[in-house]
Amino acid sequence: MRSIDFVAVAFALLGSLLPGSTASADTGEPSTPLADRQLPAPTSPTNTCASCHATLTDPKLRSPAHEFATSVHSDDRIGCVGCHKGDARDPTVAAHSKAAGFDPHPTHADVPGICGGCHSDAAFMRRLNGRLPLGQLALYSLSLHGRLSVEGDDDAPNCAVCHGKHGILSPASPRSPVNRANVDKLCGGCHGDPKRMTKYGIRTDQYDKWSKSVHGVAFRAGNLKAPTCTGCHGAHSSAPPDTASVGRACGRCHEEELGFFEQSPHSKGFRERGLAQCVACHSNHDIAPASALMVGTTPDATCMKCHTQDEKPRKVASDISELLRGARDGAASARAEFARAETKGLHVAGAGFALERMTTAELRVRGIVHTLDPARVQARVAAVDASAAEVFQLVAAAEQARRVERRGYFVALALAGLVLGTLVLKSLQLRRRRLGEP
Amino acid sequence: MSAPEERPEGWLSDRLGWGGIVASLSTHRVPRRSFVFYLGGITLFLQSVQVASGILLVLYYRPDPAHAHESVEQIVREIPYGNLIHSVHAWTSDLFVACLLAHLFTVVLRRSFRPPQELSWLSGVAALLVGLGMAFTGSILPWTERAYTNARVGSQLAGQVPLIGESLRRFLRGGEEVTIGTLGHAYGFHVAVLPAVVTVIVAAHLFLLLRRPVVRPDKAEHETLPLYPEFIVRQAVAQMGALMVIMTLAIFAERPLGPVANPLQPTPAGAGPPWYLLPVHALLRDAPTELLGIDGARFLAGVGLVLASVVATLPFIDRRGSKVTAWAAIAVLLGLFILAIHALD
């Protein structure tokens, strides 16, 4: 198929050189013989490929030039020859000579080598853009995608599948498929497609699960710090974390939780039983928001997945659950009290800070739960209670201030009434005097 | 005991020539039963309330779109008694416009504009226009969703004025669109230009009323009152009553601030112009595309300007003994009321 394409290109170009040839091979539109064509000024003195292809009538030959013009590779030091080789200084069809190494259609397996040829060349990349990383090809070679590609699997993604071909944009561009905001759709496009995934025997529900998870919901709500696929699996080195190391992947963000987990009795128990650290309780793609309901002895509590019979763990779960519910209810009533005051139009000075302190204290409670030590949980719950009490205190103070202000209003109103009464009396006195009454 | 002129008040009275002023005011007579005079006095008093409350607000207000709403929020929520001052200013603004319009309407009904009161009338009409301008520019300053809509729609209405409409619209907006320039212009006009102009106009209005009393020479003495002290004390009673009404409204019917303006959002539902612009809004909103070959909105704006000119020149066109003016005024008032109700649909 690729050789046929090449022949078609070659014939199209040669055909356009033949005397009397007035139509493009593919479109049938009249075209000017290349030798007679008045070439526009080339976009650069060394890249005549783009300036010539931009004028061709066949969309297949023209569009790469247009796409390339806005790509991140549109640079004199790279140009079309960076990937396709050939002689870009030759404005004639001889630029496509095999002697110059011209390759119109690099194969799927060739692509990583072509891209990596530059992107692994430290001297070249440092000259071109000192900010760019260098190890992508090495990382890709280690990844499942890279290994499959090397084995000749043309369905395994190579560089061009994710980054694009001629119109490659900087990953910082919002239009780039590998931009932080788009990468979930890029991965989900293949991994959510049962047709593509059948031959690998892997599930296709990860993307849907992630979309509904606490991470996916936060990401969709605009929090670009929430992890997408690459956050846990890596980008060029993409591979699923294994059971023993998954905690490290989560711990990149949830550092405190991982630290507390490793201090807990669970750490040893999980290792011995081969359980995945965080995943055993929180799942992997469909991670639900953490809540006080996860801990406890109720049938739907996560602890009961393993500890239905054990007396001591059930006692710990029950104690921690009680503490968590107390903190949750205390914080909820403090928030409700603040909302009630706000609805009444009351300004509660300092309550915003107290509420933020309370939220931080709640997050710290979530972390310490992983120690499974009720005494340590109690210490952090006390901080939540203290902030909640502060909110109640501030609302009460604001209400008292409002009452004092209201009293001031009524005093002013009474004074105005007094002045009004005096003026009415004076007016009546003047009237009587005018009418000569006693 | 010291002589009267040696006491401090005697010394001051001597320097001010207070005795002469009192004597002059005592001989000046006003009608005993004239609602017109009370409305005028109340309007003047409301203007003073606006100046006093406005000075307190201006101490904290920041006239730029990034901070305007935040600063008004600070006044309402954080400054002691700021909420009361804000509510007083907002309520007084509405009452001020209502009293101005009622004052004008009662003058027309009583035909108190007749010669020799032409100049008093003209100064009153000018004060009305400036007063409306003050209320309107003030409505833009909190930079709420409603304020932003007011600025946009109000300047758009001004753009319909024949001949100078486009320039007027650009001037009011401080550019092509409602931006930081619009708020700057509104603030400048609200706190400096218009108060200065209205002070001069009101001073001229009072001066003309004192120079050309409205009481006709043939009026019986028992139907009139001396301006000082009786009428001034009665005025004070009316003004203190007005103050109590304002305070009661401000305390029991607080004026909520509303959400901050967001130019990127569509016009929020229910955001309409201030109540005194409702008839104009209804007319221009539902104006046909074309009237007599002219753009409909522009045509109606032209008709409005002609009507306003007729009102301004009433003393010169009203015929003695005719009741047409009074009936026309009632008809116009009724028409404006119907249009205002229609605008709320």
Q: Is residue A113 part of a domain?
A: no
Q: Between A410, A420, A430, which is nearest B240 by CB?
A: A420
Chain centroid offset of residue A367 CA: 23
CA distance A96 to A90: 9
Contact A409 B84 (CB under 8 A): yes
CA end-to-end span of chain A: 123
* pLDDT score at A21: 35
Higher pLDDT, A23 or B244: B244
Answer yes or no: is A376 within a domain. yes
Nearest residue of A to residue B88 by CA position? Answer: A409
Question: What tokens does B55 get?
Answer: 């000075």
C-alpha closest to that of A367 among A380, A357, A356:
A380
Is pLDDT at B204 greater than 90 in this prediction? yes
Scan for tokens 């793609």, then name that residue. A285
Average pLDDT in the A55-82 region?
A: 87
pLDDT at B6: 64
Question: If you search the block for the tokens 């696929």, which residue do you land on?
Answer: A229
Residues B237, A420: C-beta atoms closer than 8 Å? yes
Contact A413 B84 (CB under 8 A): no
Strand partners, A30: A23
The mean pLDDT of chain A is: 85
Note whether A347 contacts B243, CB cutoff 8 Å: no
Does residue A396 sit in the same domain as residue A318? Answer: yes
Three-class DSSP category at B144:
strand
Mean pLDDT of chain B: 86
Q: Which residues contact B75 (CB under 8 A, 6 or more apart)?
A: B57, B60, B61, B82, B83, B85, B86
Residue A25: the pLDDT is 36
pLDDT value of residue B81: 84
CB atoms within 10 A of CB A343: 8
Q: Has the ipTM of the complex gone over 0.85?
A: no
CA separation for the pair B313, A314 (Å, rounded): 92
A:B CB pairs within 8 Å: 50
Closest CA–CA distance from residue A423 to any residue of chain B (Å): 6
Nearest to A427 among B80, B83, B233 (CB): B233
d(C-alpha A435, C-alpha A438), whole Å: 9
Mean pLDDT computed over A234-241: 88
pLDDT reading at A393 higher than 50: yes
CA angle (B219 as vertex; B213, B224 as ends), nearest 5: 70
pLDDT, residue A177, reads 93
- Is A345 in the B-facing interface, judged by CB distances under 8 Å? yes
pTM of the model: 0.61
CATH of domain B20-259: 1.20.810.10
d(CA B211, CA B205): 10
Give the mutation candidate from A346, A411, A415, A434 for the B interface (greatest B CB count, under 10 A). Answer: A434
Nearest to A349 among B78, B84, B229 (CB): B78
With contacts defined as CB-CB under 8 Å, which chain B residues touch A345?
Answer: 77, 83, 254, 256
Least confident of A114-128, A147-161, A244-258, B252-266: B252-266
pLDDT at position A209: 95
Both tokens of A406, joined, read 């209201």
Strand-pairing partners, residue B182, are none
Higher pLDDT, B53 or A31: B53
Residue B242's pLDDT is 94
Residue A40 is predicted with a pLDDT of 39
B307 contacts chain A (CB < 8 A): no
Examine the pLDDT at A1 and tell me if it is beyond 70: no
Residue B1 has pLDDT above 60, yes or no: no
Where do runs of H (alpha helix) occur along chain B? 8-16, 18-27, 35-58, 68-77, 82-110, 118-140, 145-158, 165-173, 180-188, 194-211, 232-252, 278-285, 296-312, 314-317, 324-343
| Contacts for A302-311: CB closer than 8 Å, 24+ residues apart | A305/A280, A305/A281
Confidence of residue A377 (pLDDT cuts 50, 70, 90): very high
CB-closest option in A347, A417, A424 to B78 = A347
* Residues of chain A positioned with their CB less than 8 A from the CB of B240: 416, 419-420, 423
Using a CB-CB distance cutoff of 8 angstroms, which residues of chain B are in contact with residue A405? 80-81, 83-84
Contacts of B259 (CB under 8 A, 6+ apart): B144, B145, B268
A-chain CB neighbours of B49 within 8 Å are none
Would you state the pLDDT for residue B29?
83
Instruction: Report the 3 state secondary structure along B177-245.
Output: CCCHHHHHHHHHHHHHHHHHHHHHHHHHHHHHHHHCCCCCCCCCHHHEEEHHHHHHHHHHHHHHHHHHH
Alpha carbons B99 and A218: distance in angstroms, whole number: 55
Q: Does the residue A305 lie in any domain?
A: no
For residue A423, list chain B residues with Cβ-Cβ distance below 8 A: 233, 236-237, 240
How high is the pLDDT of residue A178? 94
Which chain B residues in 208-227 lie under 8 Å from chain A, judged by CB atoms?
225-226
> What's the confidence (pLDDT) of residue B12?
85
- How far is the C-alpha of B56 from the C-alpha of B59, rounded, in Å? 6
Q: Which residue did the predictor score with more confidence, A423 or A438? A: A423
Query: Residue A74: which domain range?
Result: 1-105
Is there a contact between A434 and B243 if contact means CB atoms under 8 Å apart? no
Is the model's pLDDT at A159 over the cut of 90?
A: yes
| DSSP label at residue A99 | G
Banded pLDDT at A5 (limits 50, 70, 90): very low
If one counts every other C-beta atom within 10 angstroms of the C-beta of residue A420, the result is 18
Residues A312-334 as b or e (16 or more Cβ within 10 Å = b): ebbebbbbbbbbbeebbebbeeb
pLDDT at residue B222, as a whole number: 66
Least confident of A252-256, A390-394, A401-405: A401-405
Chain A residue with minimal CA distance to B80?
A: A405
Q: Are residues A97 and A177 in the same domain?
A: no
- pLDDT tens digits for range B213-224: 776 666 666 678
Q: Domain-by-domain residue ranges, chain B?
A: 20-259
User: Considering only CA atoms, which of A359, A383, A363, A366 is closest in space to residue A260?
Assistant: A366
Answer whether A413 touches B (CB < 8 Å). yes
The encoded tokens of residue B91 equal 């309520």
**Which residues in chain A touch residue B251, judged by CB atoms under 8 angstroms apart?**
406, 409-410, 413
Given a cut of 60, whether residue B98 has pLDDT beyond it is: yes
Residues A412, A247: Cα–Cα separation, whole Å: 66
Number of domains chain A is built from? 3
Q: Which residue has the higher pLDDT, A257 or A401?
A: A257
**A190-199, A243-252, A415-424, B295-304: least confidently modelled range:** B295-304
Residue A87's pLDDT is 83
pLDDT digits (tens, 9 = 90+) for B149-167: 888 888 888 888 878 888 8
Q: What is the mean pLDDT of residues A284-296?
A: 87
**Which residues in B lie closer than 8 A to residue A409 (C-beta atoms)?**
84, 247, 251
Q: Are B257 and B57 in contact (CB under 8 A)?
A: no
Can you spell out the DSSP letters for A328-393?
A: HHHHHHHHHHHHHHHHTT---TTHHHHHHHHHHHHHHHHHHGGGT-HHHHHHHHHHHHHHHHHHHH
CA gap A324, A307 in Å, rounded: 19
| A312/B contact by beta carbon, under 8 A | no
Stretch B10-36: mean pLDDT? 82
Question: What's the pLDDT band for A285 if we cut at 50, 70, 90?
Answer: very high
At residue B123 the predicted structure's pLDDT band, cuts being 50, 70 and 90, is: very high
pLDDT band at A182 (very low <50, low <70, confident <90, very high): very high
Q: Of A223, A239, A255, which marks where a domain is finished?
A: A239
In terms of C-beta density within 10 A (0-12 exposed, 13-18 middle, 19 or more buried), how is residue A386 classed? middle
B241: chain A residues, CB-CB within 8 Å = 420
**Residue-level pLDDT at A365:** 94
Confidence of residue A7 (pLDDT cuts 50, 70, 90): very low
Does residue A377 lie within any of the structural domains?
A: yes
Q: Would the CB atoms of B234 and A427 count as touching at under 8 Å?
A: yes
Q: What is the pLDDT of residue A22?
A: 35
For residue B89, which of B135, B133, B50 has the smallest C-alpha distance? B50
pLDDT at B5: 55
